[in-house]
Amino acid sequence: MTVGVSLTGGQGVVCALAILAEDYFAVERLFRHPMGSAAAVEEQRVDASRVTLCKGGWWTSTVVDHYFPVLNMKLLTGKCIHDPAELWVPVVEKACAKLHGNYTNLAETDALRALQELTGYPTCRWDAMLRDASSHEELFDRLCRFCELGFIVVLDRPNLTSGKSSFQRLGLQEGNACVVLSMKMFQPLPSNGGSGEHQQQGIHRLVRVRNPFGSARDWVGDWNLWDPAWQANPVIAAQCGHDKESAEDGSFWMEWRDVVCCFNGCGACFTHNLFYEYRVAGLCGKGGIPGCVIKLEVSRRMYILGMLQQEVRGVEGMLQPILLQLSRRYVPEAAQMPSSADALHNEANAKSQTLLKRADARKQEVVLNSTADCDCPSPDLLTFRASSQVSFICELLPEYSPYYLIPRTTSDEMAYVLALFTSVPCGRGSVGDGAPATRSASVSSTPLPTAAGPFAQAKFMRLSSKTKVFSDSLRFEVKLETPVKCRYQVTSPTDSPLTFPSMFTDNCIR
């Protein structure tokens, strides 16, 4: 999808829309209507469109008209280049501007933050690693893994002061962003006589990038469409699918060393399209005590993505320091499960099973704390960050159930949304019909469950303010917990892309 540059300040939103257009269903999800498709058609007859955005962690439907800013009879917002009559880009940009107060306020929204609002999934940046030469190989490996998992990897903050003439030809401007489609590393075959330095010089780290505001022919650096290196390396050309005659999608290959010189920012949006999605609204009271934590009782191995979000109120709204913690049933080291598969039926395993059953579920230990890097949560370091969201991905095992997902803040009062994405459904009954989803591919290899019934119970609890976890203790006892009723939204991967999230009020997910 080729989009035009926005001159209203919403260039970050337009970049995010161009990136999101890689997936048709992701764009379709933006136009979910709380009253159904028929109501959406009726509103469109009077030139009104409804856009669903994740505002402060909560799916919110916003209606906008079809009047857009123009200058000299030219549209100032983003647009579809090949079909100016296609209005979905300016409609979504206007909806984002409405949520932020006006178009001018969109100038502070970069592509990754916009992706968070458009998709509801967490995002994370690694700008510091991109600037640190000693971290370049580690960062490449990490981003390569994210591409393989299906996450959205973004390069932004173009280095406009770069002296590379090849980069200048791309025409990237401040606020622009490119999506990474794939990453590959090629190593030379080991030779007995070759030195380590020589072998290192033969390594090629290639990145396939799409520039939504240009053409593949704009890149004239290493590994451009006409670079003789493709003919000199037929194996690389074959694995990269190089074909200069069919490069009309705007994508091109770059050497990783050129990427780190041409961009000052990078990050990822952790999409989990085949996970079940639950969003619980809560409020922190005096002393930052959360009004709701999620108690998870797990009956089988599962994966979760936990996310704590807060809403910025007002143009100059301040973000409160927040932290997301995960605790599990405390089990003494003697009761830890054996790591060797050969020990599954020996005496030590039987003893461990006995100790696990005797472990008191009220005694908990914090095992994960959110950090600036949602891919690397800390087991023991508590970091409160003034951020719109914090998150982590982890695995839950039934032998350590129950788990508690605990939102924290240093503020006396804060409204928050605790989002939970799970590989299996929660509640007393399956969410959806359990049939495999037909939408875009999941980032997880975990298949959707086909058996009826839930694999996890998610209960909404209020812990006593005297619970030691609120005094930053990593081990605590749940002496008093009270069920609380909360509003929550549910989205199933088996739903149609146009199905608006279901909304309930209860003391657990049903």
Round to whole Å and give the CA distance between 101 and 92.
Answer: 14
Measuring CA to CA, which residue among 176, 371, 356 is closest to residue 263? Answer: 176
Owner of token pair 């028929």? 38
Residues 6+ apart with CB under 8 A from 195: none
455: left (phi over 0), alpha (psi -120 to 50) or beta: alpha
Nearest CA-CA partner of 164 in 90, 219, 237, 226: 219
> Nearest CA to 363 among 397, 327, 392?
327
Q: Is-catalytic flag, 211?
A: yes
Q: Which of 394, 413, 415, 416 is nearest to 403 (CA)?
A: 394
CB 83 within 8 A of CB 95: no
The total number of residues shown for the chain amounts to: 510
Residue 354 to residue 414: CA distance in whole angstroms: 42
Is residue 106 helix, strand or coil? Answer: helix
Closest C-alpha to 93, from 177, 214, 9: 9
Out of 105, 192, 211, 507, which one is annotated catalytic?
211
> Among 351, 118, 155, which Cα is nearest to 261's?
155
Token pair, residue 392, equals 């982590």
Q: Tell me the three state secondary structure of residue 42.
A: helix
- Annotated catalytic sites, by residue? 211
